[in-house]
Structure 1
Amino acid sequence: MEETISLQEIFSILKKRLKLIILLTVGATLISLIITQLFITPQYEASTQFIVNQKDTGQEAQYDINDIRSNVEMINTYNVIIKSPRILDQVIEEEGLSLSVGQLSSKIQVQNADNSQVVNVTVSDSDPYLAENIANTTYDIFERTLPELMNIDNVSILSEANVGANPSPVSPNLMLNVAIALVLGAMIGVGLAFLLEYLDNTIKTEQDVDDTLGLPIMGVVSTITQDEQNGNYTRKRRRRGDRIGA
């Protein structure tokens, strides 16, 4: 026979294990806060933008949608060139970086938004001003090297990377990490509460006797607390004192 559990029993279990749930929730939140603040290095981003345009080659040609489509397709080639050793080796040399090409490549993201002709070169680093310098240097070297590689010159800078005077880190996100830890801690606490209740096979109530043994209840012995015993003892002494005084 399948066992069912009512809402009243669910709330009773949660109330019974409420301290455990709160402890795990608060603990997970504090751990997330400490790890985020003390052990995760903040990361900053700097981006430079350039546009791929159609330069006049000296021949009369109409600038139409096909030109734009051709430039957008060319961007995929540019994305590969920007992160190639030909470009990044020069960036490492000019900036004096102690990084390999692979390590520097992992810090750089190149993408164009919504299939446009605008390309974003974004650099992530723990030093915001180093990220800014790498982004600008990468574009400068790419612009100088492109005519040598493809015999074309159709890129123009839109905006240079500039993190400002007081840059803000893009990661870690303290509020997001704390919120995730809070929800996760609460879920673990609730799950552990039901697990402990499931594993608890001790008999505590008359219903437990009926469910476990299948025997009728003949009687119940009430529990008398120490305060009740002291109270009864005091009342008895008072009654005896009243009788003696009478």
Structure 2
Amino acid sequence: MDSHGNKEIEIGKIIKLLIKKSWIIVLFVIVTTGASVIYSNFTKPTPLYQTSASLLIQDSASIINTLQVFIKEPPVMEAVIEELELERSMEGLANQINVQTVQDSQIVKIYAIDSDPYRSAEIANTTAKIFKEQVASTLNFNSIEILYPAVVKENQPPINPESNRLIMFGMVLGGIIGIGFVFLMDSLDNKIRSERDIENLLEIPVLGTVSKYNKKTLTANKEKKVEAYVRGDVSESKTG
């Protein structure tokens, strides 16, 4: 029972301590959250947008797989850069393009990523057009159709939206640091505040306590005693 009671007392003491020093915890949370917001604004990623053009290649799966590799080859990339007057290398443009075959179909999608959504659509559509032309002229293959050109949706969101995880992490970190700081301050505080503190320090039981008196309290008590004494004398004289 004693150990259970001690645990309840300790938990109550911790809760009171955290409530009393809650302003310190709030201060740490504000500081770390503010720092996280500032850092997030300075390291905010450039928004990137993705669009896609769909091609229909009417042939076997093996031919389709062979042809889609040709999409990111230098002849196609060079022609796209020249037509759109892009200021980037063929390798850089190839890194902006991703080609995928829709499963169990003859449809190939050309994805283009760029910081400008409209330029992304231009890259996807121009790549699809030049690929179709060069395959026809180089390989004499004419069974390619552009099914759906790339279009930009209204208010199209970026593929790398801003994340609030860093800000949330800052809030949690501030709370943890604040609570730790409160406990540290309490552990360094050697003031005796209760009978339990005396018992823990001296390792002996407390037999009694003396109420705290100040000069004002002593004067008031003295005046009450004098007044009571005078009243007592007056009462005795009347009786006599």
1:19 equivalent in alignment to 2:26 = yes
Aligned to 1:79: 68
How many Å separate the matches in 2 of 1:87 and 1:121? 13
Q: Determine whether 1:34 maps to 2:19.
A: no
Aligned partner of 1:100 among 89, 97, 105: 89
Q: Secondary structure at the match of 1:99?
A: coil
Conserved? CA contact 2:30–2:171, under 8 Å:
no
CA deviation after TM superposition for structure 1 residue 220, in Å = 10
Instruction: Report deviation, 1:181.
Output: 2.5
Distance in 2 (CA, whole Å) between partners of 1:236 and 1:137 is 99
Secondary structure of 1:183's counterpart equals helix
User: Aligned residue pairs: how many?
Assistant: 211
Identity %, equivalent residues: 28
The answer to whether the 8 A contact 1:48-1:120 is kept is yes
- Tell me, yes or no, if the aligned pair for 1:25 and 1:183 is still in contact at 8 Å: no
Kindly report the root-mean-square deviation, in angstroms, between the aligned alpha carbons of the 2 structures.
4.3
Mapped to 1, the partners of 2:58 and 2:119 lie a distance apart of: 29
Matched to 1:45, the amino acid is Q
Cα distance in 2 for partners of 1:138, 1:111 equals: 14
In 1: Cα distance, 2:109 partner to 2:208 partner: 78
Cα distance in 1 for partners of 2:184, 2:28 equals: 17
Change (3 A) 1:29 1:86: same
Shift of 1:141: 0.5
Equivalent positions of 1:52-67 (< 5 A) are 52-54=57-59
- Which residue identity is paired with 2:38? I
Match of 1:145 in 2: 134
Q: Which residue number in structure 2 is paired with residue 90 of structure 1?
A: 79
Question: For residues 39-90 of structure 1, what are the alpha-carbon distances to aligned partners after superposition, in whole Å with 9 as ceiling and x for unaligned?
Answer: 5332222211112223xxxxxxxxxxxxxxx32x444333321111111011
Deviation at 1:116, TM superposition (A): 3.4
Gaps of 5+ in 2: 1-6, 228-240
- 1:76-225 mapped onto 2 (5 Å cutoff): 76-164=65-153, 166-174=154-162, 177-178=163-164, 180-193=165-178, 195-196=180-181, 201-202=187-188, 203=190, 215-216=203-204, 218=206
- Does the aligned pair in 2 maintain the 1:44–1:128 contact within 8 Å? yes
Deviation at 1:105, TM superposition (A): 1.4
Write the deviation string for residues 73-115 of structure 1: whole angstroms up to 9, x where unpaired: 4443333211111110110011111100121112112122335
The 1:195–1:161 alpha-carbon spacing in structure 2 relative to 1, beyond 3 Å, is: same
Q: 3-state DSSP class of the match of 1:114?
A: coil
> Conserved in 2, the CA contact under 8 Å of 1:51 and 1:117?
yes
SS in 1 for 2:103: helix
Q: TM-score, normalised by structure 2?
A: 0.65
Q: Is the 8 A contact 1:52 1:117 kept in 2?
A: yes
Q: Distance in 1 between matches of 2:99 and 2:133?
A: 18
Give the whole-Å Cα distance in 1 for the aligned partners of 2:69 and 2:101: 13
What amino acid is the match of 1:92?
I
Change (3 A) 1:236 1:152: farther
Q: Name the CA shift for 1:101/1:220 in 2 (closer, same or farther; >3 Å).
A: farther
Give the letter for the 2:172 counterpart: M
TM-score, normalisation: structure 1: 0.64
Deviation at 1:20, TM superposition (A): 4.3
Shift of 1:119: 1.8
Deviation at 1:221, TM superposition (A): 9.3
